Amino acid sequence: MAEHPLFRRAALIGIGLIGSSMALAMRQHGLAGEIVCAARSEATRATALRLGLVDAAFATAAEAVAGADLIVLATPIGVFGQIAEEIGPVVEAGAIVTDVGSVKAMVLREVGPHLPLNVHLVPGHPVAGTEHSGPEAGFAELFENRWCILTPPEDGDAAALDKVSRLWSAMGAKVEIMSAQHHDLVLAITSHVPHLIAYNIVGTASDLEAVTQSEVIKYSAGGFRDFTRIAASDPTMWRDIFLNNREAVLEMLGRFVEDLTALQRAIRWGEGDTLFDLFTRTRAIRRSIVDAGQETPAADFGRRVPGSGE
């Protein structure tokens, strides 16, 4: 636990999975003297207070940021610009505004212009999560040994960047700094396109006339169950991600379609060596992910592993 809190008052705008997990982690490690949140739903605010996630809960972002030296945008990214416009006139001088969204160039574009020059913007993306949502889904260990990518503007404040980096490190994350544009390209292939594929293949299965929905559910093998877990993610969040990272997603999706066509050709013409070489390379990538500590080699076949948080 920190001897002195990094922040006097942290305001979480949105208190879903990531926001609630941040609240719990900040409390556990003594990183904020006071934690408040903003949520439109009265039921959500009541839940956040009942769970002890926050000291106070407000209906508007403008109310929540009053006196806060850390402001975290943890809503779907589609409303970031609207929130920034709301808080811009009332955020205190010297405050740090960060976020937890999966797209970063749009944060610089949609949030930055609404903030006063004496307020520091440090966009961030904790690469962590589950398919669950809401304030009751959070847990303090969500960020442990996960990456958090920070994408500061070129003229950003170095002290603010250091403070946000220390916040994430204290919550157990490994911090990486890169440009917003590079982040969006990397995440398009490692996260966004895989989610798009998952949504599509589960949708295809549900539309098949020759296979009943009950058979899809009854005979789902491990691979399809993994797709359904991903496809159960929050639809609002992922709609906003695809709309706000469309260039990078379309670029990676085009490359994927080209590779899929080549794979289709190999199957049609019985090119076993081509298939074997591809599967060998992809198996090696899986092993590298396990070796890097980003996954466990244990198979759970779609079932929750106790203590995994998923």
pLDDT tens-place string over residues 77-115: 999 999 999 999 999 999 999 999 999 999 999 999 999
Rounded CA separation 192/241 (Å):
8
CATH code of the domain containing 80: 3.40.50.720
- Whether 300 is in a domain gets the answer no
- The CB density around residue 237, as the number of other CB atoms within 10 Å, is 20
Contact 13, 130 (CB under 8 A): no
> Is the per-residue pLDDT at 302 higher than 60?
no
202 and 162 housed in the same domain: no
The one-character DSSP state at 131 is: S
Q: Domain ends where: 146, 178, 210?
A: 178
Last residue of a domain, one of 144, 178, 212: 178
- Which contacts (CB < 8 Å, 24+ apart) does range 85-89 have? 85/114, 86/60, 86/61, 86/62, 87/13, 87/61, 87/62, 87/114, 88/114, 88/115, 88/116, 89/62
pLDDT over 70 for what percent of the chain? Answer: 91
Mean pLDDT of 136-162: 95
- What's the confidence (pLDDT) of residue 303? 44
Enclosing H/E stretch for 283? helix 272-291
**Is residue 251, in this structure, part of any structural domain at all?**
yes
Residue 78 lies in a domain: yes
Q: Which two tokens stand for residue 268?
A: 């049609």
Whether the CB-CB separation of 106 and 134 falls below 8 Å is answered with: no
Question: What is the pTM (predicted TM-score) of this model?
Answer: 0.84
**237 assigned to some structural domain:** yes
205 against 259, higher pLDDT: 259
In-domain check, residue 95: yes
Non-local CB neighbours of 59 within 8 Å, separated by 6+ positions: 38, 39, 40, 42, 45
Same domain? 17 vs 101? yes
| 26 and 170 share one domain | yes
Residues 166 and 284 in one domain: no
Quote the pLDDT of residue 108: 96
Looking at the fold, whether 118 and 221 belong to one and the same domain comes out as: no
CATH of residue 249:
1.10.3660.10
Q: Percent of the chain, pLDDT > 90?
A: 71
Per-residue pLDDT, 114: 97
Structure-token pair, residue 222 = 């491990």
Q: What is the pLDDT of residue 1?
A: 57
Whether residue 307 is contained in a domain is answered as no
- pLDDT confidence bin for 286, thresholds 50/70/90: confident
Does residue 304 register a pLDDT over 70?
Answer: no
In the three-class reduction of DSSP (H, G, I as helix; E, B as strand; rest coil), residue 143 is classed as: helix
| Average pLDDT of the residues in 54-74 | 97
Q: Is the same domain home to 65 and 132?
A: yes
> What average pLDDT does this structure show over 143-164?
96
In this structure, the answer to whether residues 70 and 207 fall within a common structural domain is: no
Residue 57 lies in a domain: yes
- Its domain, for residue 255, covers 182-291
Residues 140 and 115 in one domain: yes
What 3-state class would DSSP assign to 139? coil
Same domain, 36 and 164: yes
Whether residue 70 sits in one domain with residue 15: yes
34-47 confidence digits (pLDDT tens) = 999 999 999 999 99
**What confidence score (pLDDT) does residue 239 get?**
92
**What Rg do the C-alpha atoms of the chain give, in angstroms?**
21
Note whether residue 252 is domain-resident: yes
C-alpha closest to that of 87 among 50, 55, 116 = 116
- Local structure of 69: helix, strand or coil: coil
79 and 141 inside one domain? yes
The total number of structural domains that make up the chain: 2
Q: 123 with 247, same domain? A: no
